[in-house]
Amino acid sequence: MIARVWHGRTDVARADEYTKYLQQTGVTDLRRIPGNRGVLVLCDRSGSEAKFTLISFWDSVDAIRKFAGEDVLKARYYPQDRDFLRELEPHVQHLDVAVTEGPLFNPRG
């Protein structure tokens, strides 16, 4: 399994609004792709900005390509992301998942 990791930052006052937007766009699109095993969205609101980490889990690079396109390490953005985010990271990170344990990792995806 592959974990695709993306980061974003917005004003802490807009964190709830961005979370809702992220759920409606990226998370929904990710879950529709065959080979996607799930998505986690983490948010650190400990300062003046909200720092988001989105981790999507995939069966293969080919499955990721269905979402990301040919350049699988290029970050994918939606039209209103520019209204929320302080910067647009150009790339994501892919990590091999070494251990999974617990109900979060349902074998059926």
Report which of 31, 75, 78, 77 is spatially closest to residue 57, judged by C-alpha positions: 31
The string of pLDDT tens digits covering residues 27-45 is 999 999 999 999 999 999 9
The string of pLDDT tens digits covering residues 63-81 is 999 999 999 999 999 999 9
Mean pLDDT for the chain? Answer: 92
The answer to whether residue 106 scores a pLDDT higher than 70 is no
Separation between Cα atoms, residue 7 and residue 69, nearest integer Å: 19
**What residues does each domain of the chain span?**
2-96
Q: What is the CATH number of domain 2-96?
A: 3.30.70.100
